[in-house]
Copies of this chain bind each other. A is one copy, B any other.
Amino acid sequence: MIQAEILSVGTELLLGNIVDTNQAFLSAELAKIGIAVYHRQTCGDNRERLEDAVRLALSRSELVLITGGLGPTYDDITKETVASVLQLPLEENAAVAEKLRAFFAALGREMTPNNLSQALIPKGAAILENDWGTAPGIWIEKDGRTVVMMPGVPREMKPMYRERVAPLLQKRSGVVLHSVTLHLYGIGESDVDAVLRHEMETGCNPTIAPYAKEGEVELRITAKAEKIEEAERLCRETERNLFAKLGQFIYSDRDRKLHEVLIERFCRGKNTLALAEGFTGGKMAAALCQTENAFSVFKGGVVFDPENAPEAVFGSGRASDSPEEYVLHLAQQVREKFQTTAALAVIGTLDPEKATAEMPFGTGVIAAVYRDRKICRRFQFSRGIKEKEYLRTLASLRSMATLLQITGLFCEKPPEKE
């Protein structure tokens, strides 16, 4: 198994100005093609420490992927530093220089000399063309080690990895890893751990690992084989075992979130959805809109201050109703306005100053309507938690799970016997 190491370069990372998402992306992508990441490092734009980091990586990992520090500014030193560690001179690459000139000409902007520095390439290195920005990636092989340098901006790095780097690495790795992630809602991590302890401790291929996510648990099954078909078969076998034990909590067996499952299953049954978000603050609408085919299901939603639901949208009637009656009214109103088969409404108390004995801070009241069915439930989301965004996330998940449950679309089916 090829041992890889990921090195992120950038003082902005060490200052905590941005979260490094590249390491997780590359880790996951490498795992898919059976390349093991045993080490990750982060280093600032400092020549001496970067040299140390590169030397350490080369001493223990045959494949080193470096992101960041390839740009045109004075603190971009990755290329020079790696070239110096590997004792390779830098040379201007004519094709890259030409492409840079064309890029700036097309933008109608003048190319400054610092931009041209992006065309300096270590001798003998291969260029990884950058169709998503200006700094090209670089692939160097020397003394049995491979160093791959890519830009740090995720929008450039990700497609460059997928289109330029992954195909070369896949060829080199003879192993395939296959992972299946089961998404569970309604059960805690330690309960999953208790049920599956034996399988987790004894299983080595596939392995099973639980991860606590916000309000959910994921179970990741990972199998290793020479051929993808065999890895997939191993995963399915384990999956059937897990469905037998925890099936009632499993809402998805692919890497899909609850909102994606909702869109997919509603789409299949030609059902449509409207939202009234007086607690979740647009979180559900934003999540649904990010999903493929969103608008074949999600026809629209209203986001509003629960203390000031606009009468022009929802009509009047707040004063006399209980929260339950009122939230049901809201769900029916948006279903009518957006002409959908189903609707969800959530109201509640997220403003500590507006908390009452009847509705303490963190109380959410959810209504789901679907054809002739309707359900209304009250939940205490806080339990000592004060962060509103987290409470909104919990309420969003609970709302969508409630709707999937009343429509009978919550549970995923286990894979069929072979």
**A300 with B302: in contact, given A194-B112, A281-B290, A286-B286 (CB under 8 Å)?**
yes
Query: Is A155 in the interface zone, CB < 8 Å from B?
Result: yes
Cross-chain contact B313 with A313 (CB below 8 angstroms)? yes
Residues in B with CB closer than 8 Å to A209 are 11-12, 75
**Whole-angstrom distance from the CB of A9 to the nearest CB of chain B?**
11
Query: Is A339 in the interface zone, CB < 8 Å from B?
Result: yes
- Name the segment of A37-45, A233-241, A367-375 touching the other chain: A37-45
Cross-chain contact A27 with B13 (CB below 8 angstroms)? yes
Cross-chain contact B301 with A303 (CB below 8 angstroms)? yes
Residues in B with CB closer than 8 Å to A38 are 14, 44, 46, 49
Please, which residue of chain B has its CB at the minimum distance from the CB of A72? B190
Interface residues on A, range: 35 or more
Residues in B with CB closer than 8 Å to A83 are none
Cross-chain contact B27 with A15 (CB below 8 angstroms)? yes
**A16 with B12: in contact, given A290-B281, A299-B310, A303-B285 (CB under 8 Å)?**
no
Query: Is A289 in the interface zone, CB < 8 Å from B?
Result: yes
Residues in B with CB closer than 8 Å to A251 are none
**A20 with B17: in contact, given A299-B304, A300-B303, A302-B301 (CB under 8 Å)?**
no
Residues in B with CB closer than 8 Å to A392 are 289
Q: Select one of B24, B193, B303, B313 contacting A303, CB under 8 A.
A: B303
Binding site for B on A (CB under 8 A): 11-21, 23-31, 37-44, 46, 49, 53, 56, 72-75, 112, 114-115, 153, 155, 190, 193-194, 197, 200-201, 209-213, 218, 220, 222, 275, 281-286, 288-290, 294-295, 298-305, 307-308, 310, 312-313, 336-339, 351, 385, 387-390, 392
Closest 5 CB pairs of A and B: A16-B28, A281-B289, A16-B27, A282-B285, A40-B42
Inter-chain pairs besides A14-B37, A282-B285, A301-B304, 17 sampled, C-beta below 8 Å? A14-B40, A15-B220, A16-B23, A16-B31, A18-B24, A38-B44, A38-B46, A73-B210, A275-B303, A281-B285, A286-B286, A289-B303, A289-B392, A295-B305, A301-B303, A310-B338, A312-B337
